[in-house]
């Protein structure tokens, strides 16, 4: 049942993004496309879907999230997030949770004893996703 709910959440998220994507940069840090951390699962002219993995207790260096994205947590997650000014936040999410992430600079740490996996669904330019482009019927 949990797997079915996750599939439904992913489907709804992709449909929503492809019909209402906001302008953003599709750039991703090198880490996003390196095989040891994850890579592009799907890409078209409207979205890029990146699958990411963090090992137990893995830390990421300070980096930029350059464009807004929808994140779908594939595993339970317990993260520590550090802003450039040193402010620390801690987050827990169950597998299947979906959230909108805005551009920012941060460092992360997986606080759990298991790896975590998530999908980042990154919209491309709004013009590419307009449902009203093309010839009128």
pLDDT for 125 equals 72
Helix, strand, coil: what percent of the chain each, to 5? 20, 40, 40
Q: Could you tell me the mean pLDDT of each successive run of 10 residues in the chain, 137 residues long? A: 54 45 40 57 94 95 93 97 97 97 95 96 68 46
What does the block give as tokens for 8?
């439904």
Cβ 14 vs Cβ 122: under 8 Å:
no
Query: SS3 for 39?
Result: strand
| Domains along the chain with CATH numbers | 2-128 (2.60.120.10)
pLDDT at 119: 96
Q: CA-based Rg of the chain, rounded to a whole angstrom?
A: 16
Residue 104's beta-bridge partner residues?
65
Q: Tell me, what DSSP letter sits at residue 21? A: P
């Amino acid at each position: 049942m949990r797997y079915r709910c996750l599939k439904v959440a992913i489907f709804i998220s992709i449909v929503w993004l492809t019909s209402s994507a906001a302008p953003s940069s599709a750039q991703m840090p090198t880490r996003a496309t390196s095989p040891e951390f994850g890579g592009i699962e799907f890409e078209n002219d409207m979205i890029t879907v990146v699958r990411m993995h963090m090992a137990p207790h893995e830390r990421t260096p300070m980096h930029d999230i350059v464009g807004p994205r929808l994140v779908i947590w594939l595993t339970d997650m317990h993260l520590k997030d550090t802003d450039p000014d040193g402010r620390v936040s801690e987050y827990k999410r169950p597998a299947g949770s979906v959230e909108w992430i805005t551009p920012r600079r941060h460092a992360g740490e997986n606080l759990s004893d298991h790896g975590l996996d998530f999908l980042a669904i990154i919209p491309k330019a709004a013009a590419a996703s307009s449902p009203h482009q093309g010839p009128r019927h």
